[in-house]
Structure formats: structure tokens, C-alpha cells
Amino acid sequence: MSPARGGLAPAGSAGRRLDEVVAELAGVSRAAAARWVADGRVLVDGRPRPKSHRLHGGEGLAWEPPPEPAAGPPAGEPLPLAVRWEDEHLLVVAKPAGVVVHPAPGHPAGTLVNALLGRASRAAGEVAGSGLSAAGGSDRPGIVHRLDKDTSGLLVVAKDDATHLALARELAAHRVERAYLALAQGHLAAATGTVDAPVGRHPRDRKRMAVVASGRRAVTHWRVEERLRAADLVEARLETGRTHQIRVHLAHLRHPVAGDRTYGADPALAARLGLGRPFLHAWRLAFRHPATGQQVTVTDPLPAELAAVLDRLRRGG
């Protein structure tokens, strides 16, 4: 990861926009600086500010460039891949926990993209031509949306650019249903609810997200499916798709996802239940097929390790 940098805003920056000044000081384009600001990678006197924030001169500025992209295009690997639905335009796959979606610094191989490329190459009988959309970038062919490394469940993957762009538009318009099963510590006060709270980078810990005024709008709808001894089994539906959104929103309600130590889950409960990762699973995906117009609905049951946790709780664990 690139090291954090910064300094004092020059006296001549008075009245100028934050993204403009950071672009000059960091030696990057204004568009890149604006992305850093939007991602919460820029602080003014220790606080995130919008890109249009006007400086007075003399403030302490700090910025953290994003990680360098992985070197070279990803390669196909003969990795297992669970396909739940497929046609000539797209496929829906079930990602296991512990697998990163696409290559990045620290995870150059063994990702879902490597598995997809390996499968496509084997199907074509050749390495050339991935059989996946390139619209998402050369480092993440076919990828329309993502799941955290330790979250399991369903992802839709595009095989061609037209399908990728259409699915991206449907996601942006909130017309793709993404439903998750989560185990929320304790007991929520109501049977259903909605969290509408902006999510952005944590102002002090840049590896975490948080509910912050400067964040992007984030909306999660939730419903209690089952009340258990120490936790509630909750279905959470994403209206927006911010990084760590469900994890942050449940922690914001003071009911973090069990096993999620990043956002305050009780390690003693996780140990008692034999839970080695956040109990979060993308179990249902529904969308209108970009080519046929037909509704596609795919479900994926809880993986065995999470089903075992539920069984322990139901038996009084």
C-alpha cells in the first residue's frame, strides 16, 4: 500500500477547492484527487471533507494514495468454481468465504477472477480470449459487483460488454435484488427496519468504513428471520452497495455481525459458536436479464460452517 503523505496547505490555497490543491501537492490529476477525496483518503486537519471544500490556507492536509494495481493481467487458474446459473450472456457463481474477488496487492492469485479465467480457458480449449466482459477493466474481467473476502454467496458475472453495462445500470438504479443472511449479535428492537446512514472511510482507521456525514448515501433494509438465544438471524437487503455496508450498518445499530471483530463483534461469542469469520452470506440474487428481459432469481443455501453455527444456537449454544 502506498504510504500516507501530506503537509500544510500553502497560504496561496486560500479560497481554492480541496481536490484542486491536493492534485497539485500530490502531483496527480484533479480527477484522481477527487476520487481520493470521495473514497475518504484525504483529511483536512484530521477530518474528511468534500472535494468542493474551500481551504483557508495553513490547514494540515493528509492523503493516502490507493494501492497500486496488480501487475499485469490476471491469469487463469484451475480452481474450483460453483456455478449456480448460466447462459451465453452471464453466469451467477457462489463465492466461498476466504476468496478475494479480483487480484490486488497482497492477493495476486487464487482469486475468483483467476478461477473464472481458468474455467473460460478450459471451455474454449485455449488461453486466448477470456470469454468474459472487459468493461470492468483488464484486472477484473466480468466482475459487475463484489463481495468482501470473508463474505460468501452469490455474484453475477458478465460474459460480454453489453451485458456488463446493462447490469451495471440496473445496479445503479437499485433494480437488482441482493439479499443476505446475517447473524446480528443480541436482539434488534423491532422485527423490521431500514438503516439510511452514509458510509465512508473511518476518519482514523483507513482500513475500516464507518457511518460518517461525509460518506456516500447507504441504505440497508433488514428483517428478523429468527430470534435465537444470543443473536438474531436477519435478512438484509441492499438498496445501495457501499463497501462493508451491511457490516457497518448493523454495527451502527449496536448489533454487529457475529464473528466480525473489525466492527466490534464479541470474540467470546464467536469462539463459543465455532465461528471463524463474519456470519454474512449473500443468499439471493434477482434481476432482469439484460438480453431476454426475463426475471432471473438465484438462491444459495448457507454454507456448512454457517449452518452448523445456527444449529448450535438452536440447540441452546
Residues serving a catalytic function are 148
The rounded distance, in Å, linking the Cα atoms of 236 and 133 is 29
